[in-house]
Amino acid sequence: MTAPILKVEGITKSFGGVQALRGVSLEIGSGEIHCLAGENGSGKSTLIKVISGVYEPDAGRIEINGQHFSHLNPKEAIGLGIQVIYQDFSVFPNLTVMENLALNMELMDNRKLMNYRRARAIAFNAISQIGFDVDLDERVENLTVADRQLIAICRALLQEAKLIIMDEPTSALTKKEVKALFAVIKRLQARGLSILFVSHKLDEVFEISERYTILRSGENVASGNTEELDRKTFAFHMTGREFADEYYKPAGVKGKPVLSVRGLTLRGAYSDISFDLAPGEILGITGLLGSGRTELAETLFGILQPDSGGIEIDGRAVKIRSVKSAIRRGIGYLPSDRLTEGLFQPQAVDRNLVITTLDRLSSRLGFLRRKAIAETAMQWIDRLSIAVRSPTLPVRTLSGGNQQKVVLARWLANDLSILILNGPTVGVDIGSKYDIHALMRKLAADGLAIIIISDDLPEVLACASRILVMRDGVFVRELDPSATTESKLSELSTGIA
């Protein structure tokens, strides 16, 4: 490893008696891409905030470019070349790209009025550094998540960053956008910048990083060269658990199809979609973003209305004209973005759990039966092993995996016959991912018909009993998971051999 640009030793931090970090150490070389991995709650975010000066450690020391510090403040950290790109990117959505990039520079120069000619030059210089092609006059709120992230990277470069810390940078990106981001990261490395890449995604860690540090429960558990690590060992260090490679093989299709789709078409999204789904099946639908997969799911759940074609449930033709109609017919839907579409973030865990069953938990006069709500919530918390300190805490206080379990429990409480999962493990850590996969297999084995929609190819191969590949709004192939590979699925999804 090259001379370290950052070295932290024995960092300890607690909050109100809760120990977040216990003697954590980390070393990053100049021009190195280093992965900081760990499950949610492992201490990754706390360590980042110590390094960037947001938190003062209780013990330990920080060394940056040979200078020693007991603690830093944010201004000192920035002055030493440390920049953090958080998951929300900290951009101003109502401002233009140019204003977002130039604002900090104008403020640092103590300018009371922005000179737009100078601001444009600053912004153009920033995007040129990474070859980012974007309209400087476009409002940031109109850009994709990937483009907002690149704006945050460009802004960091304007501050003469030497170490860029990226906190879960791919959590909301498509595979194509992840590939583009990795190309940018490699270009930054070629310029001598160091990158601390914070993630819990195994594939990304192996693809982008040279060295790794893994935290668990606020402690170091492993570090070394990524090339010397295998996936099973990585998963064990992350979770303290050993996982066997499992695949879902239904004991047998139980009876006639519970769902039949014939010639379903929605102009501009998908066309002539036909398939059957039997109880006990896990049907995997995979394809790139824009393939029509989400629009199909939203049609089955009554959010969108098809232009033509038909849907049958238990052999009877039905019209699913609304979400309420879908729920009444025993269909549940877990959306791809649980934060904005699946949960009421400020509301308590128990309220989120029972929202779809309030009719059963209300009196004849319409008053909520508090005791029944509490009992129902605890029943599902126990059944799905949802880790929560109290059911009355806001659901936003839970980890991503536990939030996902809350959304699942909400639908399972509804006596479903069909469950549609769009990106079932997006943004959850590896332990929760295995738990959700195991839960899906158990539900299917108990007779529930499940559709999973995902571009996570290992997930589709591990969970589906049958796979339909979608491209440009049509199904291009049906595959047996036991007789195909990730590369074949990728080839069919993209149309590129």
Please give the residue that has the higher pLDDT: either 160 or 369.
160
Whether residue 288 contacts residue 456, with contact meaning beta carbons closer than 8 Å, is answered with no
Position 51 scores a pLDDT of 95
Average pLDDT on 84-109 reads 81
Q: What is the pLDDT of residues 231-288, one digit of tens each?
A: 888 888 988 888 776 677 776 666 789 999 999 999 999 999 999 999 999 999 999 8
What pLDDT sits at residue 106? 63
Q: What is the pLDDT of residues 475-489, one digit of tens each?
A: 999 999 988 988 899
How many Cα atoms are found within 13 Å in the side-chain-facing hemisphere of 117? 0
pLDDT at 370: 81
* pLDDT higher than threshold 90 for residue 215: yes
> For tokens 């129902």, what's the residue?
376
Q: Is the pLDDT of residue 104 over 80?
A: no
Quick one: pLDDT band at residue 110, thresholds 50, 70, 90?
Answer: low
3-state secondary structure 29-68: ECCCEEEEECCCCCCHHHHHHHHCCCCCCCEEEEEECCEE
DSSP string, 112-130: SS--HHHHHHHHHHHHHTT
Q: Is the pLDDT of residue 381 over 80?
A: yes
Question: In the predicted model, is pLDDT for residue 46 greater than 80?
Answer: yes
* Residues contacting 179, CB < 8 A, separation 6+: none
What are 407-454's pLDDT values in tens digits?
A: 888 888 787 899 999 988 877 778 888 888 888 898 898 899 999 999
Q: Is the pLDDT of residue 325 over 90?
A: yes
Give CATH 3.40.50.300 domain extents, the chain. 4-239, 259-494
Averaged pLDDT score across all residues of the chain: 87
Is the CATH number 3.40.50.300 carried by domain 4-239? yes
pLDDT of the residue at 116: 81
pTM, to two decimals: 0.73
Report CA torsion sign: 229, 287, 299, 146: positive
Q: Among the listed ranges 60-74, 265-279, 315-329, 362-376, which one has the minimum average pLDDT value?
A: 362-376
Which pLDDT value is given to residue 339? 60
**351: three-class secondary structure by DSSP:** helix
Lowest mean pLDDT: which of 32-46, 135-149, 245-259?
A: 245-259
End-to-end CA distance of the chain: 38
Grade residue 338 by pLDDT with cuts at 50, 70 and 90. Answer: low
Check residue 294 and give its pLDDT: 92
Angle between helices 145-158 and 97-108 (to 10 degrees): 20
CATH top-level class of 259-494? alpha beta
